[in-house]
Amino acid sequence: MTSTLSQSPPRRGATNEPVELARYTIGAGERVIYGQRVCGVVRLVDVPAEAGGRRYLIERELTSMAELEAIVADYLDQAARWNAIPAAGPCSLAHELIEARLL
């Protein structure tokens, strides 16, 4: 991952360009995780690699690069285990039900 998000000081009301942090592929297709500073705070979003499709907010108001890296790593792990978009909703519940052989 890159530390571009922490290199420039935040300017009030400024929006920086999105920075690609990771890509992953699930059955529904390839997705991209972007980080972007918006109004002085860093946000993580999950968007389809191809145009069209739903965008998801993963996290906002991140406070450190270590926090950003941990969230991205955990998010990628969840996507791989569930073969789904973690930010889309009740993936964890479905995963637990599958493991308990109730679904």
Tell me the pLDDT tens digit for each residue of 6-51.
455 555 667 899 999 999 999 989 999 999 998 888 999 999 999 8
Q: How confident is the model at residue 59 (pLDDT cuts 50, 70, 90)?
A: very high
Instruction: Report pLDDT for 89.
Output: 81
With the C-alpha atoms ordered 25, 27, 29, 32, is the resulting torsion angle positive or negative?
negative
Asked if residues 68 and 36 have their Cβ atoms less than 8 Å apart, the reply is no
Mean pLDDT, all residues of the chain: 85
Alpha-carbon separation of residue 21 from 4, 55, 90, 93 (angstroms): 10, 15, 24, 27
**Residue with the two structure tokens 């999950």:** 46
33-37, 62-66, 72-76, 97-101: which has the minimum mean pLDDT?
Answer: 97-101
User: Is 94 in a helix, a strand, or coil?
Assistant: helix
